[in-house]
Structures are given as structure tokens and as C-alpha cells.
Chains A and B, each alone.
Chain A
Amino acid sequence: MSAIETVRDRYRTFDDQRYAPLVKGVGLFGLLAALPTIIEIDVAGMELAALLSLKVLILTVIYAYTAQAWNIMSGYTGQFSFGHAAFFGIGAYATQALVVDAAVNPWIGMLVGGVLAGAYGLIIGALSFRFKLQGHYFALATLAFAELLRFVVTNMSELRGANGYFKAFPRDYGAEYGLVAFQFQNDLPYYYLIVGFLLVVTLVSWLIKNSWVGLYFFAIREDERAAASVGVPSFRYKLIGVAVSAFFTALGGAYWSMYFNTIRPDTVFALFKNVELLLPAVVGGPGTLLGPIVGSFIVTPVSEIARTTFSDINGLDRIIYGAFLVAIVIYSPRGVVSWPSQARALWERVRGDEEVSE
């Protein structure tokens, strides 16, 4: 990884400083860490927390995390997955099944879920890529594999069928509330934990992006046939993308199952879960490091607030998701994070025109 950096460094213009990513990262995660305090600041007799509760913040960071995981595969290699609920659900179910039925610590269950999801990802990938499924066909195949799991789990009494799992108490698996038990008695530690998760996946994503693996991913995304003809082993690298992405998505599912009280096939494997897992990345900017995080902070709070405010209108949050998706795909396929540079380009053009007319 450092090898490619040094090579690039020698040929790069010096406006891109070495410590820039570190500064940005510290700034971003500092802000995320401070958010629970910020929302409680009293502004003119009103707290932001009345609108943006800690629960919504947690949900937002969960989806930022899963979108970041989705991005490693779909954003970087260009293999658009519409079936990440499969991995998410595997993570949730592996954790709960082991915790509830075998009294295994959820952290271990989480890792088991991650490995299982990675393996399932390799199966989906190997089958799809072997038969050269691309674009829409690949997306549909991933969706089919996710739906398949929903049906299987719903009909499996060993996994409690449609009823799903109810989270166990820490003492049931020999632990006490706290980090080791993966359970807390209030929301704040949960928030910091998922921010920690986000930090890890963002770091992994950054490392990939700046390595040879990332260079191969981008080459495959841009033109897979050309990548193959220069000698990039595209089949292998697409599988690496799927496996890493599936692994981290499953950890998100495990967190979900330890934060909420119940999981059922129609929540963690839900058809709509697929959309929720990818939308922040698509809105924020697929293939970018910041996009999934920014996207989630746009999409999740708006739909959550709408859902709770207009709770009598069933499905309003989904309508909002749909509207976001349509608007962004049509008007700004490079996502929200591309807006500043586009605005700058527009501004420079306007200014350039003025100079000419003078």
C-alpha cells in the first residue's frame, strides 16, 4: 500500500499534502463524536434534539456504516449490488442465533456472521461473475440471492421462522451490561460504538482506495474488458470486493440486532432493506469516501423525521427514499459530494465569461 503512495507522491503536484486525509478524518470524526452534545445545545429555547434525537443519530450512523461497506464493492468495483440485505441479515441472524440459542458472546457471533456473509458473497460473486452477469442483470441476481435467504429463513423453524429472535439479556450469556456484552442501558454508548464501527470501515475503505487493490478496482469499474486485457485478474478482484463488503455489512447487521430488541426475516432481510443499505452511498456519491457518510446524514434523518411526524401516513419514508433516488440518479449521478467542485467550476465559468466581456 505504501509502495503505490510513494510512486504517486513523486509524480503528484504538491497541493495534495500527505497529512490532508488525517486532518479531514480527525475533523469528521471529531464532529461525529461531538454531535450528541451539539444536538442538546439550547438555541432560542429550542433544542435540535427535539427534531434530531439520539436514536435518529444512531440510525443515521448505522446506515452511514453499511453504505460505506456497500461502497467498497459497488462504488469501487462498479458491481452494483441490490442484495446487501442478505449480508446484513446473515450478520444479524448469526449473532442472535448464537447468543440466544447457544449463549455465545455477541462479539464472537458477529465475527461468525461476518465470515458467513463473506462466504455467501463469494458464492454469489463466483456464480454471477463466472456467467458474466453485468449491470442490471448482476443487480437482479444479488436481489434474488437476498430474497432467497428471506424465504429460507422464514420457513426454517431452527431459526424460529417468521417470528425471529428476541434479544437475550446479558446475564443469559454470562456478561454484564457494557462493551463486552455488546449491550448498554442507554443510547449514548451505542452511539459511540457505531461511530467506532464507522471509523474502522472508513479506514479500511481508505486503505483500499490508496492501494493497488483500489487501482485494480477502479480499472475494473471503468472498463472491465480493458482491465482484463492489460492483465488485471478481474474475476479475483471482484470477488475480493464482494467478500470485504459482505463481511463489513454483516457486522452492521450484528450491531443492528444488538441495538434493537427483535429481528425477523421481514425486518433484516426485508426487500426494502436492500434500498436502505445502498441509498446513502448513491445519494452521497458512489465510489467516494465521504459520500456514504454525507448521504446518510441527508437521507436517514429526513425519512425518520417524516416517518415519526406523519406516522398516520403509512410508507411516507419509502416515498421519500424513492424521491431521493429518482432525483439523484437523474440530476446528479456523482452524488452530493460532487456539488462543491461543480459549483466551483460553474463559478469559474461565470467569472471567466465576465472577464471576457470586460
Chain B
Amino acid sequence: MLELSGVRAGYDDIEVLHGVDMHVDEGEIVALIGSNGAGKTTTMRTICGILSPSRGEITYRGEEIHSKASHEIVERGIVQVPENRDLFTNMTVIDNLLLGAQTEEAKADRKENLDEMLELFPRLAERKNQRAGTMSGGEQQMLTLARALMGEPDLLILDEPSIGLAPHLVQEVFDVIEDIHAQGMTVLMVEQNVQQTLKLADRGYVMENGRISMTADGDELLEDEGVVEAYLGV
């Protein structure tokens, strides 16, 4: 479904990704783990067209997408939940959700989807006319996720969906991810919460210094001594 080969990218003159190869197949949950500064977020941004790679290529369903603008990538069904949430803090919850519907199909279904999201996240329903910036961190994370789902993505990209959340909220977020995956959505996620992520994921990639250093099934990675030592702190 999504394939990266030899992708190099970075900011201005600083190259962060030194040739990344990875792929995500239809219906999978794929996790990308690694220490801070390994290039996980940069990888996500490059896939979504916020950064453009200097070398290498990214294909999605057989089509090259690495030279496309981010809105063109969204139109093809790749929607990301960014790490810093990127909500429109002075706009209402409803308006934030409406902004998530960008493809023609998503626009056509937005009323049903809006109802569905408010049902899936009752907390958002309570606060629907409130400004997004006045909500708690957990609620904002729910809103970011709900906004992404408003776009009816085929491939959902999650960058640290549980960062800074209280433990019970982390569980809630993972439950939602499991739910939407069960409905057939493909998910690529970056997470600090390695143990929980790898349990959920079909496959995982370990990233080090801008390269993929290892790849295996989620369970295998959980049992790998190197991974356990480096990322689980056991």
C-alpha cells in the first residue's frame, strides 16, 4: 500500500533521514519505534508531504507521492494525526472536526461522520461548541483523532497519539485505534509507549540515526533482547 525506498529528507541543510526503506500493507498496523531524534517524526512528515525528500521515493498504491503537496496526499486518503496535535485552538470543536473532511467522499459524508464521532467520543459532544484550546490535553488528543477520522482515511498515520496523557486516557486511545483497525483501516504509528504499541502492531520497525535498523513482527520485537533493553528499560 505504502512504500518508502531510500528516502533521504531533513530540514534546510541538515539531513535527518539517511535512506529509509519501509512498507505498509493494506489492513496492517505498523509501528515505528526508536529513541528521540532517530527521525520518526521526520519520516511521518515526509510521508505526508510536509517535508519533501531530497532523494528516494515514496509510492502509495503504485503512485509516486513524494513530490505532491500535503493536501494532494490527503486527497489520496492518507491522513495524519500530528504529534503536536495541531488543533485550531480558537475554533470550535465542530469547526475543527469539519476541517478534517477534505476529500470529496469525506465532504459528502460529513454529517453522518460528525454524528458518529460525537458518539464515539462523548466528551467531544459535551464540548462541541467550545473552543478547542479551552479543552484538556486528553480531550484535545481525542479531537485530533476524531478530526483525522472525519477525513475517512485509508491510511491513518499517528505520531505519538498517547503522548502526555494520563494512563486511563492512553488506554482509551489504544482502544479507539484497535476499534478503527478492526473496521479495516490501515495504521502506521509512532509511539513512545513501546510495549502497548508492539502488542497491538502486526509489524514493527526500529529506527536509529535516520535509518531502519531492524524489522520484525510486533511480538518478535517484544521478545528481542536489544529492543527490550533499549526501549523498554527492562
Contact = CB atoms under 8 A, between A and B. Distances in A.
Given A228-B71, A231-B151, A233-B69, A218 B88 contact: yes
A226 B86 contact: yes
Contacts, number: 72
Interface string A33-57: 0000000000000000000000000
Centre residue among A219, A222, A225, A231 by max chain B CB count within 10 A: A231
Contacts of A235: 69
A241 to B, nearest CB: 16
B71 A7 contact: no
Contacts of A7: 94, 98, 110-111, 114
Contacts of A223: 86, 88
B87 interface: yes
B102 A222 contact: no
A309 interface: no
Contact of A13 (B69, B86, B87, B129): B129
Given A219-B88, A225-B50, A230 B110 contact: no
Interface string B53-79: 000000000000000011101110001
B95 interface: yes
Given A12-B129, A226-B87, A232 B99 contact: yes
A225 B111 CA distance: 26
A4 B70 contact: no
A231 B98 contact: no
A23 to B, nearest CB: 22
A235 B95 CA distance: 20
Contacts of A8: 94
A215 interface: yes
Interface string B118-132: 000000000011000
Nearest to A222: B88
A342 to B, nearest CB: 16
Interface in B115-167: 128-129, 147, 151
B39 interface: no
B89 interface: yes
A10 B71 CA distance: 28
B204 interface: no
A294 B80 CA distance: 42
Contacts of B87: 226
Contacts of B89: 222
Interface footprint category on A: 20 to 34
B74 A231 contact: yes
A8 B94 CA distance: 8
A10 B115 CA distance: 10
Nearest to A216: B99
B90 interface: yes
**For chain A, what secondary structure do more than half of its interface residues adopt (helix, strand, loop), or is it mixed?**
helix
B102 A230 contact: yes
A13 B129 CA distance: 8
B98 A229 contact: no
A11 interface: yes
B134 to A, nearest CB: 14
Interface in B5-60: 48, 50
B210 interface: no
Contact of A229 (B82, B103, B129): B82
B42 to A, nearest CB: 14
Interface in A174-233: 215-216, 218-219, 222-223, 225-233
B218 interface: no
Centre residue among B48, B82, B86 by max chain A CB count within 10 A: B86
B111 A218 contact: no
Nearest to A237: B71
B99 A230 contact: yes
B102 A229 contact: no
A230 B129 contact: no
B98 A215 contact: yes
Contacts of A234: 71
A321 to B, nearest CB: 29
Given A7-B98, A229-B82, A219 B91 contact: yes
A225 B86 contact: yes
A230 B99 CA distance: 7
Given A7-B98, A7-B111, A215-B99, A228 B70 contact: yes
B71 A232 contact: yes
A229 B88 contact: no
Contacts of B98: 4, 7, 215
A238 to B, nearest CB: 13
A10 B79 CA distance: 26
A318 to B, nearest CB: 33
A28 B110 CA distance: 35
Given A4-B98, A8-B94, 9 more contacts: A7-B98, A7-B110, A10-B111, A12-B129, A216-B99, A222-B91, A226-B82, A226-B87, A231-B151
23 contacts: A7-B98, A7-B111, A8-B94, A10-B111, A11-B128, A215-B99, A218-B88, A218-B91, A218-B95, A219-B88, A222-B88, A223-B86, A225-B50, A226-B82, A227-B88, A229-B50, A230-B74, A230-B102, A231-B73, A231-B74, A231-B79, A232-B102, A233-B71
Interface of B: 48, 50, 69-71, 73-75, 79-80, 82, 86-91, 94-95, 98-100, 102-103, 110-111, 114, 128-129, 147, 151
**Complex A-B, nearest 8 residue pairs according to Cβ-Cβ distance, in ascending order:** A231-B74, A231-B102, A226-B86, A233-B71, A231-B71, A222-B88, A228-B70, A11-B94
